[in-house]
Each structure stands twice: as structure tokens, then as C-alpha cells.
Structure 1
């Protein structure tokens, strides 16, 4: 297997790309945390940006919904945003101040589910803007990323509670303690094997949890890799960013890890996505979008 790497400079300096997703239009969409914009990048390298209505919103995670709309979190503005592919924005403010929405995913119920870092809650918002929130059992859990599981529930990381959480669409919450203490779980995704896979930014590991709550952990070879986000890719592989090691990692469902360096030093990779063609795209906070083309 050969990896061909391309990097694309963002249209504006100090944009700080963070979250990234594959749109239903075939383009790559990303958030500009510092630039306060949503960006769009085609496979031909054409880039376009859209300014957010709220100044200094702290835009973080982004997803492409089944309807084609883009949904994103506004950490500083305390809002959930929605954008059409044509650039029309709608923003929904959360009921409680300083909730700090962060991760989000589309649920099996058609709602967008999100985490509240400082609010210590899991919330969901319907397409019409109705918001429901559920408090976590332990204060200061710092829920981070969230993903739809294969069991019809939503699974999320509790960064400061060293746990993986599960919430049903009816709001019933279960928590599973991670074996490695103070591991700092962040990104989470559903794997092709029917389990949930997550990164441990402090534990320097990739974790796996079954829907029945059984854990397996895999140490990352590069010391202090500080993995951040993870996504499922083609052929059963899972891909993750190594913020501290300036690399992109790949893990098989049996736990074999391979790491690939990013050409630009100190690129600070964060969000990651895989397009339908199997290409891996990642947001580099150094004002670039990275792309791995894989040739077998």
C-alpha cells in the first residue's frame, strides 16, 4: 500500500481548521475555529469559505446530515448551527449559558445529538430546532465527542470522568469505566466490527468497547502521540489523528497500528474524515487541509 499526501492551504491565514466532514455533494467541509468560517474544498482543490453570522463563535465540530445540511457546534457562542450547501445559516441558542457544545452526530431518530463540555449534558436538536437535554450522573465529566452506535443508541466520551457513556434516544444513560486511569478519551466512532472505537489522548492508546461494555486497549507505538479524533474507513480500517506526533494513524479491527507522518512540521492535526472513495482527509490547525490518497 502506498500513501500519497497532498496539503491544501486555506483561503485565509490564521483560520485554524478543526472539524471536518464529507458532504453529500462530494466536497469536504470543515470548520475554521480561529477564522470563524465554514470552508468547502473540492477534490480538484477549489476552496470556498462562508462567514458565520455570530462573531467569534468558536466553531468546532461539523457533520453532514442525511438531508444534506451541515450541522456544527459553536463552543463560544453557546449555539448549534445549521447551514445549507448554498450557504444559508440558522443558529439555535442553547437554553443554559456557557454550556459549550462540542461534539455532534446524527441519531437514528433524525435528531442531531451533541455534547456540552461545561454544561455536563448530552443534548439533541430536531430539524425544527426543538432542544432536549440530559444531565450526566457525575459533575465535571466533560463529555467530548459522540457517535451513533450499531445498537441504536448514542455513545460518547467523558474526558474528565475516564468513561465511555451510552445514551438511548429516550435519554437513559449508562457509563462504562475505562481500564486505564486518567486516559482522557476524546474522539469516538463506530467500527465495521460492531464495536465502538475511541482515542485516549493521555493514555496514548486506542480503545475498543463492545456494546455489552467489554474493553480492549491498544498502545500507540509513537510515544506522546496524543491522539485526538478517529473515524471509520474502507476495508475495516479506522483512521485517527496524532496531534502530538504530527502523524495520521491507522488501526485494524485486530489492533495492528501503522503511522504515517504529515509532511508539514507541527501541522496540529485534529478532525478526520474518510470520503466514499476511501481517501482520508484531515484538518491541520496550521491553516491546511490534508489528504491521503491510498494506492494498493
Structure 2
């Protein structure tokens, strides 16, 4: 029996089919209505899983919906990577979208900012954008190459991974950027989240590591048991630890604030877990093969 089963029990991971295998569940977020919302990147849709009966409702949107987040206006906001737009969907299903100022920018990451606006990355254009809930768009140069995921830090700035710059970037709300290089070459950082310890935590998909950076720029890296795990997304869990997806091995990982790593298998090594979020006291991750996995968290 592995460490996960010893601590949580064999019934603590459940998977729910929410689409066909070609639709591609990718990113998820808890909505203002208490439901779980997720993108179907290959179907051009955003879906809602009802918290009571598990019923899935699918809403067509623009091409390539990728990362999704809850906005300050009671709507869901998401990037449309292939349509090069920022999408907005109300819990009632009303859809609208906004064009960044830079065309063909490849919007990827998105987060609610500290200033009441939504912030997003334009990975292909090396820029970071800001859109108000009324649709007014501003853009700034990213502090490095290929900005990917981003989040609001405890210091009131935006923090993003610079996937091709091998660095983590910090951007103030007035557009001043700073890059912090990573110690490991070819780390390829992707996911990033604010941790419960006042630091930012990120995944190194190219190096098989989880990184931690303080708001002063001090970086620590933690190697995973499987160097080929290809960690992708990361989120703070309800248990005070950070949880992340291992795209390369079909697992969900957990790392404590002091660096203790555990890795727990999902049903298939090729299930392609991508986004992960806390919801209803558990961790949920999107499996690109057509399911959502729920991981129970126990004290």
C-alpha cells in the first residue's frame, strides 16, 4: 500500500467522465455559483459541473479556451488561445469576448488581479495584458520570454512564469517588470500559485521540479521522485500544502511548505492531468482524456 492509500484510503480518488476523449478538459475553477467550471480546449467550449447532481452543461465559446478563472464581477473569465481573445461567461451562460491590443498573441494564463481587473499573458508576443470587467484592454512588455501562467502575489504584484526565459517574472500593476532567473537550465516553468507561506510556488515542466520563490526573489527548487513527471499546474490546497499535476506520469503530487513531496497515481498513466484547483474541500484536476478527478483531502 502506498503512502497515499495509507493516509487517505483507497476510495479517496474518484474520476468523473465529463466529455468525450477528444474534447480535452484542460483548466478548471470554482465559480461564484459554487459549481466547478472547466474549459474544453479542443471543443471550443466551457462547461459547468453542478455541485449537487454532477450534471454537466456545455457552453460554446471561442476557439481554444485554455485557462479559466473566477472574475470579480461574478463571471468566469478565460483565455482563448487559438482565437486570440479573452472570453467572459456568466453563470447563466451569456458569452462575450474581448480582443487584446496585440494580434495573434496567444493568450494563455489569466488571473483576477489585485486592482479589480483581469490579467493575462500573451505567450506568443512576450506581453502581459490587463482587461477591466468593462472590456478596456491595456498591455505591457513581459519581463522575459513566453509568459505562461500568472497569479496575484501577496505583495500586490502579478507573478508569472517565463517558460522560454527560464525565469519567474514579477509585474507591478503599473507595468514595471522584473525577472528572476532559475538555477536549473531548461526548467521550463509553467504553473504558478501563491502559497500559504507568503511565497510563490511554480512547476518546472522541463526539469521535473517544483520551485518556490519569495517576494524578494530567493528561489528554492525541489526535485520530484520522477524526473520525467513533467509537472504542469499547481494550486494551494485546503490542507496547507501545494498540489500539482504530473502530466508525464498520470499523477497528482503534493508538496508541503518545508519541501516534503508525495506523488499519487491516477487511474491511467496516460490520462494527461493538466489544471488543478481546490473545490468543495477537495482537490480537482482536469484530465485531458475526458474526465475530472476528485482527490479527497483529510487532516
Aligned partner of 1:51 in structure 2 is 60
Aligned partner of 1:278 in structure 2 is 281
Aligned length: 290
Flag structure 2 segments of 5+ consecutive residues without an equivalent.
1-6
Q: Offset of 1:13 from its aligned partner?
A: 4.7
Provide the C-alpha distance between the structure 2 equivalents of 1:223 and 1:12, rounded to a whole number of angstroms.
30
Superposed CA offset, 1:226-249 (max 9, x none): 000000011311000000011000
Aligned partner of 1:188 in structure 2 is 192
Return closer, same or farther for 1:137/1:186 CA change in 2, 3 Å cut-off: closer
Aligned partner of 1:10 in structure 2 is 18
1:209 is aligned, of 194, 213, 218, to 213
Aligned partner of 2:201 in structure 1 is 197
Superposed CA offset, 1:120-151 (max 9, x none): 1011000111111011355xx01000000000
Provide the C-alpha distance between the structure 2 equivalents of 1:206 and 1:33, rounded to a whole number of angstroms.
25
1:134 and 2:119 are equivalent in the alignment: no
Provide the C-alpha distance between the structure 2 equivalents of 1:2 and 1:162, rounded to a whole number of angstroms.
36
Provide the C-alpha distance between the structure 2 equivalents of 1:5 and 1:68, rounded to a whole number of angstroms.
30
After TM superposition, the structure 1 = structure 2 runs for residues 65-214 of structure 1, keeping only pairs within 5 Å, are: 65-138=71-144, 141-214=145-218
Q: Offset of 1:163 from its aligned partner?
A: 0.6
Superposed CA offset, 1:136-189 (max 9, x none): 355xx0100000000000000000000100000111101101111110000000
Moved over 4 A (4+): none
Superposed CA offset, 1:38-63 (max 9, x none): 011123321111111x3xx1110000
Superposed CA offset, 1:76-113 (max 9, x none): 11100001000000100122221000001011100100
Task: Indicate conservation of the 8 Å contact 1:157/1:163, yes or no.
Answer: yes
Choose 170-179 or 5-14, whichever is displaced more: 5-14
TM-score, normalised with respect to structure 2: 0.94
Provide the C-alpha distance between the structure 2 equivalents of 1:45 and 1:87, rounded to a whole number of angstroms.
17
Q: CA RMSD in A?
A: 1.2
Provide the C-alpha distance between the structure 2 equivalents of 1:294 and 1:183, rounded to a whole number of angstroms.
29
Task: Indicate conservation of the 8 Å contact 2:207/2:227, yes or no.
Answer: no
Flag structure 1 segments of 5+ consecutive residues without an equivalent.
none
Provide the C-alpha distance between the structure 2 equivalents of 1:294 and 1:238, rounded to a whole number of angstroms.
12
Q: Offset of 1:34 from its aligned partner?
A: 0.7
Provide the C-alpha distance between the structure 1 equivalents of 2:227 and 2:127, rounded to a whole number of angstroms.
33
Aligned partner of 1:267 in structure 2 is 271
Aligned partner of 2:291 in structure 1 is 288
Provide the C-alpha distance between the structure 1 equivalents of 2:74 and 2:20, rounded to a whole number of angstroms.
26
Task: Indicate conservation of the 8 Å contact 1:19/1:61, yes or no.
Answer: yes
Helix, strand or coil at the partner of 1:118? helix
Helix, strand or coil at the partner of 1:160? coil
Aligned partner of 2:224 in structure 1 is 220
Provide the C-alpha distance between the structure 1 equivalents of 2:199 and 2:66, rounded to a whole number of angstroms.
26
Helix, strand or coil at the partner of 1:102? strand
Q: Offset of 1:222 from its aligned partner?
A: 1.8
Provide the C-alpha distance between the structure 2 equivalents of 1:30 and 1:137, rounded to a whole number of angstroms.
29
Provide the C-alpha distance between the structure 2 equivalents of 1:137 and 1:198, rounded to a whole number of angstroms.
17
Q: Offset of 1:264 from its aligned partner?
A: 3.1
Q: Offset of 1:272 from its aligned partner?
A: 0.4
Task: Indicate conservation of the 8 Å contact 2:203/2:232, yes or no.
Answer: yes
Choose 110-119 or 9-18, whichever is displaced more: 9-18
